[in-house]
Amino acid sequence: MSNVESLVIGVISGIITAAVIHLLLVLFDKVLLPWYRQLVYRGVDVQGKWEESLDFGNGNTQITTIELLQKAHAITGSATIVKSTNGEITKTEIMSLKGAIKDRLFNGTIIPVDKKRVGVITALLEIIGDGSKMRGSVSWYDAAAARITANPTEWSRL
C-alpha cells in the first residue's frame, strides 16, 4: 500500500468516525437526555389547553387559547388570540410559545408566527392550588400605541 492510499484511507476513516461521533451526540442530546429528564422530573404537569379571557369594555373582548406541550421543565406550544367587538370576530392571530417551569412558576415568551409582524408577549405565572389555574402578569409590546404594556392575568385549564 502506498503512502497516498494510506492517507486517503486515513482521511476517509477520520470523516466516518467524526460522523458517527456526531450522530451519537445528537442521539444523546435529542433522545436520551430528554427521556431521562422526563423520567426523573417530579414537578407539576401543565401540558394541555389553557384559556385566558379579557373584557376591555365597550364590547371589546379577547380570548386566548394556549396549547402547552411539556417535556420535564421545558414548555413549548402555541397561542391563538381571537379579538372580538360586540361578538363579531375582528382579528385572529397565531403565535408560538417557549418557556419553562421552575418550582411553581411558569415563565414563557410568546411571539408571532408571522415573521412580518412585530411583537412579543412575556408571561410570569404562578401555578395555583391543584394546577387548574395559573395567575400572574403578562407584558407585551403594543404596536398601535408604540409602548410596552403589562397587565395581571389568569389562565384556566380547559
Classify residue 125 by burial, with Cβ atoms within 10 Å: 0-12, 13-18, 19+. Answer: buried
CA distance 114 to 137: 24
144 and 83, same structural domain? Answer: yes
53 and 21, same structural domain? Answer: no
117 and 59, same structural domain? Answer: yes
How many separate domains does the chain show?
2
33 and 64, same structural domain? Answer: no
Which region among 9-13, 41-45, 150-154 has the lowest average model confidence (pLDDT)?
A: 41-45
Mean pLDDT (whole number) for 145-153: 91
Tens digits of per-residue pLDDT, 110-129? 999 988 888 899 999 999 98
Tens digits of per-residue pLDDT, 65-108? 999 999 888 999 999 999 999 989 999 999 999 999 998 999 99
Whether the CB-CB separation of 97 and 76 falls below 8 Å is answered with yes
Buried b (16+ CB within 10 A) or exposed e, 77-86: bebebebeee
Q: Which residue has the higher pLDDT, 30 or 122?
A: 122
Reported pTM: 0.75
19 and 95, same structural domain? Answer: no
pLDDT band per the 50, 70, 90 thresholds, residue 143: confident
Q: Which three cell numbers stand for residue 3?
A: 503512502
Q: According to the model, what pLDDT value does residue 117 have?
A: 85
**DSSP code per residue over 17-49:** HHHHHHHHHHHIIIIIHHHHHHHH--S----EE
Q: Is the pLDDT of residue 152 over 90?
A: yes
Mean pLDDT (whole number) for 17-39: 86
87 and 27, same structural domain? Answer: no
Q: Which three cell numbers stand for residue 13?
A: 476513516
